[in-house]
Amino acid sequence: MTTTQRLLLVEDEPTLCELLSASLRLAGFQVTSAETGAQALSAVSEQRPDLIVLDVMLPDINGFEVARLLRERHPGPGGEHPPILFLTARDAAEDRISGLRAGGDDYVTKPFNLEELILRIQAVLRRTSGRQPDRRLLVDDLALDADSHQVTRGGHAVQLSPTEFSLLRVLMENAGQVLSRHQLLDRVWHYDFDGDDSIVASYISYLRRKIDTDRPKLIHTVRGTGYVLRKPSP
Ligand code: CA
């Protein structure tokens, strides 16, 4: 079974964005778009696309900066950000091209041929598919499927909001490891260190109500430190 691959297209020129979205959909991809670097960053964490087509010249932060921030937020292993294919201007200097080679998986120079873009996207996806983090997580009887966005506890479906889902995913990816509020704030909400971390406690309590009622507790508070999700002791 092949699943439809999801692309995030980041392009601030509306006409080009529409044209590209339509062409990529015709080529069989599921496409969402963003117009700014900031929108791109939140779209990556909300949608976990399989690949990002990232224009370098954006109105707020440029594409290279977006790539740098993604690397910082998803240092891996297992937490790698999606592969990036940059869209660059024809006059990009040689050194910028080598710079983006370091930060991206490929690049296409504008103006480009649509067919070429699609071939490049397919090639990057083939090359990088082996390094995708595990998209099905299981801790005790709690299962999370990142592709279908389904969560079950003891075989029963649990309905989560997108933020609850992201929070649970981070906790499950790091099962057994204590995560501080700041780490969670950074990985789930992408706030800087000085953000208000009381939101983390609120969401932890929403999650507990949905997954930890009537079942052995999986989410534990480590006083003064943070939270950990782990199997109940036998
Ligand atoms: Ca642009």
User: 119: domain range?
Assistant: 6-128
Report the separation in Å between the CA atom of 89 and the middle of ligand 1, taken as the mean of its atom positions. Answer: 9
Segment 6-18, tens digit of pLDDT: 999 999 999 999 9
User: Could you tell me the CA-to-CA distances from 68 to 23, 44, 77 in Å, in that order?
Assistant: 28, 13, 16
CATH number of the domain bearing residue 201? 1.10.10.10
**Is the pTM here over 0.75, yes or no?**
no
Report the separation in Å between the CA atom of 100 and the middle of ligand 1, taken as the mean of its atom positions. Answer: 16
Report the separation in Å between the CA atom of 88 and the middle of ligand 1, taken as the mean of its atom positions. Answer: 9
Burial readout 204-231 (b: 16 or more C-beta within 10 A, e: otherwise): beebeeebbeeeeebbeeeeeebbbbbe
Residues 163 and 202 in one domain: yes
159: tokens are 């309905």
76 within some domain: yes
Last residue of a domain, one of 112, 128, 144: 128
Residue whose tokens read 């062409």? 23
pLDDT tens digits in sequence order for the chain, 234 residues long: 356 899 999 999 999 999 999 999 999 999 999 999 999 999 998 888 999 999 988 999 988 889 888 888 876 555 578 889 988 876 655 545 655 555 677 788 888 888 889 988 988 888 777 655 567 888 999 999 887 889 999 989 999 998 899 999 999 988 898 999 988 988 888 765 556 778 899 999 999 999 998 889 999 999 988 999 998 877
Residue whose tokens read 């297992």? 78
Report the separation in Å between the CA atom of 124 and the middle of ligand 1, taken as the mean of its atom positions. Answer: 22
- Cis? peptide before 49, omega within 30° of 0: no
Instruction: Describe the crossing of helices 63-73 and 37-47 by its angle, rounded to 10 degrees.
Output: 40
pLDDT in the model for residue 62: 86
18 within some domain: yes
Report the separation in Å between the CA atom of 130 and the middle of ligand 1, taken as the mean of its atom positions. Answer: 31
Residues 175 and 121 in one domain: no
Number of domains in the chain: 2
C-alpha 179/C-alpha 189 separation (Å) is 14
Segment 89-134, tens digit of pLDDT: 766 555 456 555 556 777 888 888 888 899 889 888 887 776 555 6
